[in-house]
Structure 1
Amino acid sequence: MKPINSHYKPGDVVTLKVARVNELGAFLDAGTGNTSDDILLHKAQQLHEVKVDETVEVYLYLDPKSRLTASMRLPQMREGQIARVRVINTTRDGAFVDIGAERGVFLPFSGMRGKVRKGDKVWAKLYRDKSDRLAVTMEVEEELQKAAKPAENVKPGDMLTGTVYNLFTEGAFLFTTERYIAFLHASEITKELRVGDELPVRITYVREDGRVNVSMRPVKEQALEVDAKKILELLDSCDGKIPYTDDTPADIIKEKFGISKSAFKRSLGTLMKAQLVKQENGWTYKIASDIPDK
Structure 2
Amino acid sequence: MIEIGRFNELRFVKKTETGLVLTDGEKEVILPYVYAPKEAEPGDNLHVFVYIHSDGRLMATTETPTAMVGEFAFLEVVDLNEQGAFMDMGIGKDVFVPEREQKRPMKVGQKYVVYLYTDERNERITASSRLTDFIEQDMHDLEEGDEVSLLIFDESDLGYSAIINQKYAGLLYHNEVFEDLQPGDVRRGFVKKIREENKIDLSLQVIGFRHILDLKDTLLLELRENGGIINLGDKSSPEDIYNQLKISKKAFKKAIGSLYKERLVIVSDDSVKLAPDPKREIDEMAD
Partner of 2:201: helix, strand, or coil? strand
Aligned with residue 180 of structure 1, among 164, 168, 186: 168
* 1:173 maps to amino acid: S
Say if 1:191 and 1:232 are closer, same or farther in 2 by CA, change over 3 A.
farther
Asked if residue 228 in structure 1 is aligned to residue 228 in structure 2, the reply is no
What is the match of residue 133 of structure 2?
146
Partners of 1:163 and 1:175 within 8 A in 2: yes
Unaligned 5+ runs, structure 1 = 1-23, 26-41, 51-56, 61-68, 76-80, 114-121, 127-133
What is the match of residue 103 of structure 1?
93
What is the match of residue 230 of structure 2?
242
Partner of 2:247: helix, strand, or coil? coil
For 1:278 and 1:272, the matched residues in 2 are separated by: 6
What is the match of residue 191 of structure 2?
203
For 2:149 and 2:230, the matched residues in 1 are separated by: 36
Partners of 1:180 and 1:211 within 8 A in 2: no
Kindly report which structure 2 residues correspond to 1:1-294, keeping only aligned pairs within 5 A, or say none.
43-44=18-19, 47=22, 48=28, 59-60=53-54, 71-73=57-59, 83-84=71-72, 96-98=88-90, 102-104=92-94, 110-113=109-112, 123-124=114-115, 140=129, 143-153=130-140, 156-157=143-144, 159=146, 161-166=148-153, 168=155, 171-177=159-165, 179-185=167-173, 195=184, 197=186, 199=188, 201-280=189-268, 282-290=270-278, 291=280, 292=283
Partners of 1:189 and 1:258 within 8 A in 2: no
For 1:276 and 1:222, the matched residues in 2 are separated by: 19
CA shift for structure 1 position 267: 1.1
Count of matched residue pairs = 211
Partner of 2:19: helix, strand, or coil? helix
* 2:167 maps to amino acid: R
- Determine what percentage of the aligned residue pairs are the same residue: 15
Report the RMSD for the aligned CA atoms in angstroms: 4.6
CA shift for structure 1 position 234: 1.8
Unaligned 5+ runs, structure 2 = 1-14, 23-27, 31-50, 62-68, 79-86, 97-105, 118-123
* 1:208 maps to amino acid: E
* 2:259 maps to amino acid: L
Say if 1:154 and 1:204 are closer, same or farther in 2 by CA, change over 3 A.
farther
Say if 1:283 and 1:207 are closer, same or farther in 2 by CA, change over 3 A.
closer
CA shift for structure 1 position 153: 4.4
For 1:160 and 1:284, the matched residues in 2 are separated by: 29
For 1:49 and 1:182, the matched residues in 2 are separated by: 40
CA shift for structure 1 position 109: 6.3
CA shift for structure 1 position 251: 1.3
For 2:242 and 2:251, the matched residues in 1 are separated by: 10
CA shift for structure 1 position 262: 1.7
* 2:137 maps to amino acid: P
CA shift for structure 1 position 152: 4.8
What TM-score, normalized to structure 1?
0.54
For 1:281 and 1:215, the matched residues in 2 are separated by: 27
